[in-house]
């Protein structure tokens, strides 16, 4: 690995935040299941490890209105996903092939 190369090629962060008081949050939308699915799919495809992909849990990413939310860095691509098929598509298209899944992009103006 060259000195200027990142330790991981890409990071995907899944918001797993649970808000109190009934306020909308990603945890209400099976975010933990999506994280688990992404991690297992990435591992099964040999995408994880140094110089490859890291699947991470995150607290609130402050884009609750688009939730559930995941973000891929270094590209800073924000995704709103619904089901396992969406997660599989993100893993295969973006994490494996480097192609952004346009249909799952979170609109730029969506915040909390």
* Domain extent listing, the chain: 10-104
Confidence band, pLDDT 50/70/90 cuts, at residue 4: low
Domain 10-104: which CATH class?
A: alpha beta
Q: Rounded distance, CA 30 to CA 15, Å?
A: 10
pLDDT tens column, 10-44: 999 999 999 888 778 899 899 999 999 999 999 99
Top pLDDT among 82 and 67 is at 82
Q: How far apart are CA 16 and CA 29, in angstroms?
A: 9
Task: Return phi, psi of residue 18, to 5°.
Answer: -115, 120
Q: In Å, what is the CA distance from 39 to each residue of 15, 23, 48, 51?
A: 14, 27, 8, 16
């Amino acid at each position: 690995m060259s000195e200027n190369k990142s330790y991981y090629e890409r990071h995907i962060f899944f918001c797993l935040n649970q808000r109190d008081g009934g306020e909308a949050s990603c945890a209400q939308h099976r975010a933990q299941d999506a994280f688990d699915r992404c991690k297992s799919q990435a591992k099964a495809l040999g995408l994880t490890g140094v110089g490859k992909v890291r699947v991470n849990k995150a607290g609130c990413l402050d884009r609750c209105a688009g939730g559930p939310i995941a973000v891929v860095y270094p590209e800073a691509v924000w995704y709103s996903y619904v089901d396992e098929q969406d997660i599989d598509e993100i893993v295969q298209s973006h994490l494996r092939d480097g192609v952004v899944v346009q249909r799952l992009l979170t609109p730029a103006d969506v915040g909390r």
